[in-house]
Chains A and B, each alone.
Chain A
Amino acid sequence: MSMLLEVSGVTVSFDGFRAINNLSINFAEAELRAIIGPNGAGKTTFMDIVTGKTKPDEGKVIWGDKNLSLLGMSESQIAMEGIGRKFQKPTVFEAQTVRQNLAMALKTPRGPFAVLMHKKTAKNGARIEEIAEEIGLLDSLTVTAGVLSHGQKQWLEIGMLLAQDPRLLLVDEPAAGMTVEEREKTTDILKRAAKTRAVVVVEHDMAFVRRLDCKVTVLHEGSVLAEGSLDHVTADQTVIDVYLGRGHA
């Protein structure tokens, strides 16, 4: 099976501490995957590597049908290759309207001169409205993003990722700080998105992961500890040790 993203043998150290230790992990097209693991397991560092923020000491990160190496590409190039990233803290442009936020993310030419000469088109407008509908912010298009609720900001950021039309969506703790209804809605958005692209969700919250109902990868100390369905990994003795019985090691 051809993979969308292949991470193999990646190691990163910060001042001697191995945040990622010989990590190998693969993602297929149009799959929904949850990555769980205790604090310091390397979940965020893994995202940093894939999106070009952190350069690994060794290992390979291979992307797409053309087997491109993502190492050595800048963050913006990787984003244009089709990898979108949602940060843990909702990061939307609070001083700008929901529409402006989405318009900025829309898949249009990114060069300064193209942007300077950019003209609004009906097609783009329709696409923005379509996304706003998907994330439940259609009525808030003209609202300044700063006044949205926490949950709405998270959705707006997911909407911005969708507007980028990425093939791989990396989502860091989307449900943090959300109410139960908001979580359900977030689950729906992510599940629908995963029908047409790969969605990788990093999450602490087991109940949320259960609701996603997808393949789960457990990270621990920078490498994969277990992989499979949630029931499978939670039955795994080493996973139980890592999560519950820290004293054993």
Chain B
Amino acid sequence: MENTFIAKNPSVLWFLAALGLFTIGVTLMSEAAGVGLISTSFVKTLGKTLCLCLIAIAMDVVWGYCGILSLGHFAFFGIGGYAIGMWLMYARTEGIVLDSLASQVIPPTPQEVTDAIGNQIFGVVGSSEFPVIWAFADSLFLQLLMVVLVPGLLALVFGWLAFRSRVTGVYLSILTQAMTLALSLYLFQNDSGLRGNNGLSGLQNIPGFEAVPQATVSLVFFLVSAAALAAGYLFFAWVVSGKMGSVVQGIRDNEARVRFLGYHVESYKLFIFTITAVVSGIAGALYYPQAGIINPGEIAPIASIYLAVWVAIGGRGRLYGAVIGAAFVSLLSSWFTGGGAPDIPLGFYTIQWTDWWLVLLGFSFVVVTLFFPKGIGGLFDKLVRKSA
């Protein structure tokens, strides 16, 4: 079956080959395992980009294939990041606290250790108590489960409420924006239990691997991100092929027709919404240890809008389009906003790209929407047609 699936979807094989080559190339040029042409910080940037590509293909499945313009998928991404961040922060602080208490004559009681960790983590928001949601923070396994379960359950409940009321189109988009805004505002509060606007930090330090240099850590995360992207790509390519793909794209093109064919459209939307939310959570859990910090600003509504922009520029309804869009735009964005692009002095005014990049992005979005509705990925169609 696997063979026929690949045979019918040659683009999957092409994508995996390209991703494999890219991964090998970066590894060989990294500081940790290669000649050191690529700096550790750039390896991190590339690793993060792969995670953004992963959430972009999830977005493409929910929007490009199923027609649900969700403007809230970054909420799931952020939740995944917070879930893994809680363990990273807890375990690392625990290590530090135990070290500092080890010199005491009387060994500390478990309560003292917990209090000290709580003080370290929550001192910044004037508290030392562990909130209930940190109950599993000491267990990597349980927090990893949270990475999948919390976004999945949130999407399930939210989607069930929205889809059963037949909320569609722009109303659904607004609803998803409201969801991510509400979550972000909630997390900004100091008593949300997740350190308010400070967010979770020091996530790049992996507990138990303190001795391992960051160059190696980042390369490992890069490789894991690449593997996750490959797995996610295969999974989604399989979901949107075959009969499931027919039904899902049918819902996008004519929901009523699918319903009168006897399909329970709401279940399909819920299924797609939920699996893409779970994958977004996984992408976030891989992203934030590479970013080192997560705060509520990450799940501000604008983040989810960017996600839609990436997918639109890359080309909706084709998974590789989403990957191209996310990689291209996010790398370009960090080049422009990171001071990579030289300012343009016009005499009376100097164009500083840190400010003007967003204008450029907005402009390109308009151009792509008007003139290249199939995005960058659509150019591949023309290539294929020419060679055929």
Contacts and interface: CB of A to CB of B under 8 A. Distances in A.
A104 B250 contact: yes
Given A76-B264, A96-B249, A110-B264, A116 B259 contact: no
A21 interface: no
Interface residues of A, number: 29
Contacts of B372: none
B329 to A, nearest CB: 26
The prevalent SS among residues of B at the interface is helix
A93 B257 CA distance: 9
Contacts, number: 70
A115 B245 CA distance: 9
B249 A115 contact: no
B58 to A, nearest CB: 16
Interface string A53-82: 100000000000000000000111001100
B249 A93 contact: yes
Given A91-B257, A100-B246, A116 B263 contact: no
Given A111-B267, A112-B268, A112-B271, A75 B247 contact: no
Contact of A85 (B260, B265, B271): B260
B253 interface: yes
Contacts of B246: 93, 96, 100, 103-104
B183 interface: no
A79 B259 contact: yes
A91 B243 contact: no
B243 A80 contact: no
Interface size class of chain B, counting residues whose CB lies under 8 Å from the partner chain: 20 to 34
Interface in B252-295: 253-254, 256-265, 267-268, 271
A110 B263 contact: yes
Contacts of A76: 259-260, 262-265
B125 interface: no
Contacts of A164: 261-262
A105 interface: yes
A160 B243 CA distance: 15
A27 interface: no
A186 B360 CA distance: 54
A51 interface: yes
A112 B247 CA distance: 9
Interface of A: 51, 53, 74-76, 79-80, 84-85, 87, 91-96, 100, 103-105, 110-112, 115-116, 118-119, 160, 164
20 contacts: A51-B260, A74-B259, A79-B260, A80-B262, A87-B257, A93-B246, A93-B257, A96-B246, A96-B249, A104-B246, A104-B247, A104-B250, A104-B258, A112-B267, A112-B268, A112-B271, A115-B244, A115-B247, A116-B244, A160-B261
Given A93-B254, A93-B257, A96-B249, 13 more contacts: A53-B256, A76-B264, A76-B265, A79-B259, A79-B260, A79-B262, A84-B260, A91-B254, A91-B256, A103-B243, A104-B247, A110-B263, A112-B268
